[in-house]
Structure 1
Amino acid sequence: MNTSPNIFDLVQKGFRVTVGAAATLVETIKDPQKRDVTITEFRTELENRTAEWSEKGEMTEAEARKFLENVFQKDSSKAAGDREVSTSAVEVKDAELEKEIQVLTEQITMLKTELETLRKESSAE
């Protein structure tokens, strides 16, 4: 037995939803009292949804903030000298590659210096 809806059922349901929505719209337009009730219900539903989404957004923001604080705390608790880095040297014979390695090494040194400066500035605040 196939329990998943087939394409015909989906199209039929879509058609019925469209016809039902159109009929409700026509009834609402013709009857001023029903129109007022429908608009009031819509506004109430919108206010409820807005409050719900705002609350969910607030919780998500708090969770994200807590996550980022934990990440930065872990990172700042480890000083640069506390990490162990192992390297191995390989002789480079290509002049262009050697120059590129030299440039990258200088960039790494500059980034390390900038990172230290930023850490000192943030800890001074």
Structure 2
Amino acid sequence: MDTIDLEKLVQKGYYVTLGATSSLIEVIQDPIKREENLKMLGRSLDEITQTLAEKGVTTEAEARSYVDSFISQQVSGKPTDNSDATGLTTVTTTAKTVDDSAPEKSDQKVKASMRDEIEELTQQLASLRSELEQLRSN
């Protein structure tokens, strides 16, 4: 099986799962949708999976739009009206200047502490060697 076929299969499975979940929620919440979804069960498996995959694509797009608008509202502090009309959302970001000298100082501290630790470990290793030699000689 090609990796492209496998990728398409996994993607379709993902969309079918989203569509099935969306349909299940509709069945629970809406009696009219319940009847429509129960009538769908009489169709062939290919038709059902195709319908669920299409519903999954739509559900993913709606969820993505909702999350984008939610993030946009959190960032800007105000609701966006144009995101629903165009389907696109603009997210404004800010950047801060990074002080390059601060990492040098912390790097020097880390190097010094590493050097001290290496010296301590070397001393421990030397004492273990001498202890091992003493045990071998006995």
TM-score relative to the length of structure 1? 0.32
Higher relative contact order (CA 8 A, sep 6+): 2
